[in-house]
Amino acid sequence: MSQQELMVDARGVRKWFGTNEVLKSISMTIPRGEVLSLLGPSGSGKSTFLRCINHLETIDGGRIYVDNELIGYKERGDKIHEMKPREIAKQRRKIGMVFQRFNLFPHMTALGNIIDAPIGVNGESKADATASGLELLERVGLSDKAHAYPAQLSGGQQQRVAIARALAMKPKLMLFDEPTSALDPELVGDVLDVMRDLAKSGMTMIVVTHEIGFSREVADRMVFMDAGVVVETGAPRDVLDNPQHPRTQAFLESVL
């Protein structure tokens, strides 16, 4: 596979929290348009790895390239330099992220949440941003909630607004950090439907999730992580039905 076709190229990523090594040299490549499902027990480092991709966490070793750009640092000769906050912010604009706890801005309406960054950060006109914001709300099935505040929405609705908010920046890559873990079971379906449509539209996605059924159906590839290392990689069907590694087997037995 050529460099150009890679959306994410992580090479030997290491991360320490104090004396605890949470990522032990993670290498992973994700081609454009792929939906990758990250699976693993809690504390396996999957969320941390996701947060390293958009530099919400700094890394202590290795390199992460997104869309052929080194994230968070500049390479000059054989040295790398830290980036300015403004440059990091610019890199993050092409990486959308959806959080477990939604993290909508409670003082803005659903539409306000969606259009604030396009206007304030990308310099779009208010009319343009509003038009595409309403379009996004329709896409996630919430046209009637444009002027509702997050507190007036259910968890599932909030998460769909959060997805629309991330998409409003027209990202090339979407990161999902356990997007349905904080939801009541009957609200999970609507959020997964939106994600399924997004996958069909060709978006490159990395999804940390415990929704095995969703991963089996939507993901192109599945990565199983444990204790900061990649244990197993493969097609969802192979990993789920025929796990090779005993740790994968043990994990799947406990969740299925």
Beta bridge partners of 207: 37, 176
Comparing CB distances to other proteins, the nearer of 86 and 254 is 86
SS3 48: helix
**Min separation Cβ 29 and other proteins, Å:** 22
Joined together, the tokens standing for residue 249 give 């087997």
15: number of Cβ within 10 Å: 23
Task: Report CA-CA distances (Å) from 227 to 26, 35, 45, 46, 245.
Answer: 11, 23, 7, 9, 14
- End-to-end, the C-alpha distance of the chain in Å comes to 34
CA 193, 194, 196, 200 torsion-angle sign: positive
Task: Report CA-CA distances (Å) from 14 to 90, 127, 192, 236.
Answer: 24, 44, 31, 26
**Min separation Cβ 128 and other proteins, Å:** 17
Comparing CB distances to other proteins, the nearer of 151 and 255 is 151
Q: Taking Cα atoms as reference points, which of 57, 52, 61, 54 lies closest to residue 25?
A: 61
Comparing CB distances to other proteins, the nearer of 103 and 233 is 103
**Min separation Cβ 176 and other proteins, Å:** 12
**Min separation Cβ 82 and other proteins, Å:** 13
**Min separation Cβ 166 and other proteins, Å:** 7
Comparing CB distances to other proteins, the nearer of 108 and 212 is 108
Comparing CB distances to other proteins, the nearer of 104 and 222 is 104
Query: Hunting for tokens 């095995």 — which residue is that?
Result: 212
SS3 198: helix
Residues that bind other proteins (CB under 8 A): 54, 56, 85-86, 89-90, 92-93, 95-97, 99, 101, 103-109, 116-117, 120-122, 149-152, 162, 165-166, 169
Comparing CB distances to other proteins, the nearer of 55 and 247 is 55
Comparing CB distances to other proteins, the nearer of 80 and 121 is 121
**Min separation Cβ 161 and other proteins, Å:** 12
- Residue 137, class by beta-carbon neighbours within 10 Å (0-12 exposed, 13-18 middle, 19+ buried)? buried
Distance between alpha carbon 210 and the CA centroid of its chain, in Å?
Answer: 14
**Min separation Cβ 252 and other proteins, Å:** 30
